[in-house]
Amino acid sequence: MKILLVGGGGREHALAWKLAQDRRRPELFCAPGNAGTAELGVNVPIPAEDIDGVVAWARREKPDLTVIGPEAPLCAGLADRLHAEGFRAFGPCRAAAQLEGSKVFAKSVLQAAGVPTAQSETFTNAEKALAYVRAAKSPLVVKADGLASGKGVLICANTREAEDAVATAMIHQSFGKAGRQILVEEFLEGEEVSILALVDGRQAVLLPSAQDHKRALDGDLGLNTGGMGAYSPAPMETAAFRKMVLDTIFNPTLKELRRRDITYQGVLYAGLMMTAAGPKVLEFNCRFGDPETQVILPRLKGDLIPAMEACITGNLLPEHAACRPEACVCVVMTAGGYPGAYRKGDAIAGLKEAAALSETMVFHAGTKLAGKQIVTAGGRVLGVTALGRTLCETAGKAYQAVARITFQDAHYRRDIAAKGIKRNRG
């Protein structure tokens, strides 16, 4: 079996790692991949956003399955293009991917479906948006409608910051086309949790829950990042919580999409805020999370290919998402300075020593091969991941592995999973 995996981050290395263990032992190709995926298959030098390039490769090489990792190719219609040529692809079509590609679309679906979410107003006119934020109560959240590489959400403590945020998006057009429309949203308070589900067009089956750590520094301080680490299960996860999330969030959302004649197939990721009034949807993503995937896939009991095929054919079963009882923790090591400017091309040492520890996986993100040496090639460099009995023990194992890895100016948070450990003790 031949599989093409589109993307080149930590998520894709984790996907490649899980796919490579499948009993069908697939032949893996990764576009463009990283130094980690190169150990499991063949990297193909096609950027994930180059849809024409990916389709041309598929025509030539005829993969049995294409797994699309990142949001950009999904929102640009890569799954539609592959389907049109008769190829099987895991990931939603363009219309369904709008749940991530347009926050205005996602909000209209949430509102129509009666799913709990922050109150919000949509604006296409800067003057009207400015008048609104001047009259509204702070704090406010200003969101660019379209994809903005995770930078399009601005949390505004006061009116002045909200005015600046509107100007950033609509007048200075700092997010390009993505900021032509904005949402101004009520600020929600609480703890965040990522709930991902496999979806087969009709129904959703929840994967293990996870909690990400968005800020760059310990104690949730510093700038927002793509994610500095994750752990699974999230502390609020109980059977009752999972049922409530399925009944009040996923099922009504899918029903509303069906009403609009949109079929969702792939992973649907709901970013939730646990407010005093219950969980509310902050955002949808149309794909696996990064670094959530690095802690979800090691906990998945069965093979991934049958689960993905079941999503495509509409035959998803709860067993496809069955999970192991162990906890999983991923500590992201970044280049110093990330998410600001950072160095690239520094040699990474200790990768083998770290991976040799029991139940430890070192997932690569921004890495590449320079001759025989693995070097840094991005902001998030590695996701050092361990599986273990308790969250506390597992975090200890992940940090032991982190201690064996060195590269110039490496940075990581020291408190990944600390909230969950505290909650379990308390």
Which residues bind to ligand GLY, rule: CB under 6 A?
212, 227, 285, 289-290, 292
118 binds ligand AMP (CB under 6 A): yes
282 binds ligand AMP (CB under 6 A): yes
State which residue, 237 or 309, has the beta carbon closest to ligand AMP: 237
Binders of ligand AMP in range 137-196 (CB under 6 A): 141, 150, 153, 155, 185, 187-188, 192
- Which residue of the chain is nearest ligand GLY when measured via CB? 289
Asked if the bond preceding 291 is cis, omega within 30° of 0, the reply is yes
State which residue, 280 or 364, has the beta carbon closest to ligand AMP: 280
- Shortest separation between residue 214's beta carbon and ligand AMP, angstroms: 5
- Shortest separation between residue 344's beta carbon and ligand AMP, angstroms: 24
- Shortest separation between residue 227's beta carbon and ligand GLY, angstroms: 4
State which residue, 292 or 346, has the beta carbon closest to ligand GLY: 292
- Shortest separation between residue 103's beta carbon and ligand AMP, angstroms: 7
Closest CA to 89 of 6, 196, 207: 6
Query: Tokens 């400017």, residue?
Result: 341
State which residue, 35 or 193, has the beta carbon closest to ligand AMP: 193
- Residue 290 binds: one of ligand AMP, ligand GLY, none (C-beta under 5 to 8 A by kind): ligand GLY
State which residue, 185 or 309, has the beta carbon closest to ligand AMP: 185
283 binds ligand AMP (CB under 6 A): yes
For residue 285, what are the β-bridge partners? Answer: 269
- Residue 192 binds: one of ligand AMP, ligand GLY, none (C-beta under 5 to 8 A by kind): ligand AMP
- Residue 398 binds: one of ligand AMP, ligand GLY, none (C-beta under 5 to 8 A by kind): none
Cα–Cα distances in Å, from 119 out to 114, 128, 186? 12, 17, 6
- Residue 100 binds: one of ligand GLY, ligand AMP, none (C-beta under 5 to 8 A by kind): none
- Shortest separation between residue 149's beta carbon and ligand GLY, angstroms: 10
State which residue, 150 or 278, has the beta carbon closest to ligand AMP: 150
Binders of ligand AMP in range 194-233 (CB under 6 A): 214
Instruction: Say if CB 359 and CB 388 are below 8 A apart.
Output: yes
- Shortest separation between residue 290's beta carbon and ligand GLY, angstroms: 4
- Shortest separation between residue 35's beta carbon and ligand AMP, angstroms: 27
- Shortest separation between residue 193's beta carbon and ligand GLY, angstroms: 11
* Residues found near ligand AMP in the complex (CB under 6 A): 118, 141, 150, 153, 155, 185, 187-188, 192, 214, 271, 282-283
